[in-house]
Amino acid sequence: MNITVLGAGAWGTALAIHLAQRHPVTLWARNAAQVAEMSRLRANPRYLGDYVFPEALRLESDLHAALHSADLILSVVPTAGFRSILREIKASGCKAPVVWANKGLENGTSKLMHEVISEELPAGQLRGILSGPSFAGELAKGLPTAITLASSDAIFACEAAAAMHGGTVRIYSSTDVVGVAVGGALKNVMAIAAGISDGMGFGSNARAALITRGLAEITRFGMALGGKLETFMGLAGAGDLILTCTGDASRNRTVGLRLAKGETLDEIITSLGHVAEGVHTTREVFNKARELGVEMPITCEVHAVLSAGRSPRTAVENLLNREQKAEHY
């Protein structure tokens, strides 16, 4: 199977390295200079260190050339660029199935990526989402990883998962596109909250509470949109949430840690070097939750820190001072 991976950031490159161990893979990036550097070094030092590319991995900066013989397209461009890349895929005439691995809600519309793709590609063009607990460096290193591929077409979900499954990577199939999408997007919001808590030295008890109640928020939000409860208890829900809220490689947790130390959001974003999807996702989730009437106190406090200048300490105090109630989802 010829697979084209769109987006040569850390995650896109790591997925391309994994897939090229079993398939011919083309890794596309829009920046021709970056592609030339990767071709020369056979690595992506800018985003993924010195992990060496397999021989079956080809580099390309021309999108039409990258899509020409694709049997499967894996889009790993940032959420902000997802709609535009879908339009370019459509304009190219390529009818290959599209799986996306970016996580978030679209800026300004609060739409999840399955809603965006439904608006931009023909209904008959197969599509799915790949998500779950996975740091790019560990995947590239060949460490054990388990993730989920969801599609409303159960047969495609199984076939696409089987094509990507292998080696140290285990891929489960699902038909709950909404649940997998929500889990992948909202865990980044909760990771910012966990980073704030850790950065202020509130300890392991507080982190565990944030993760658990964060999962409750994610579940309420996702089920209001039609997601399934079992998805939020699985890899794309609890699994991804735990990893992102505790792992040192989490960009969104890093944002929270640095906010707690007194850095401004602009300073953090400028120096981070990678996209932290949770920053934009928080605003969109906040707006969508109000529209749905879903209670999301952690999201509200993170939004106030990011967008309204609320101090991290005040945000945590507000959460602690909420009225006592029975625990429920």
CA distance 110 to 113: 10
Query: Domains of the chain, with CATH numbers?
Result: 3-175 (3.40.50.720), 178-320 (1.10.1040.10)
Active site residue 187: yes
pLDDT attached to residue 326: 75
Indicate the pTM of the whole model: 0.94
Of the residues 187, 261, 288, 325, only one is catalytic, namely 187
pLDDT attached to residue 273: 72
pLDDT at 56 > cutoff 80:
yes
pLDDT at 329 > cutoff 70:
no
Q: What is the pLDDT of residues 252-263, one digit of tens each?
A: 999 999 999 999
pLDDT at 317 > cutoff 80:
yes
Q: What is the pLDDT of residues 164-183, one digit of tens each?
A: 999 999 999 999 999 999 99
Q: What is the pLDDT of residues 91-119, one digit of tens each?
A: 999 999 999 999 999 999 999 999 999 99
Q: How confident is the model at residue 137 (pLDDT cuts 50, 70, 90)?
A: very high
pLDDT at 325 > cutoff 90:
no
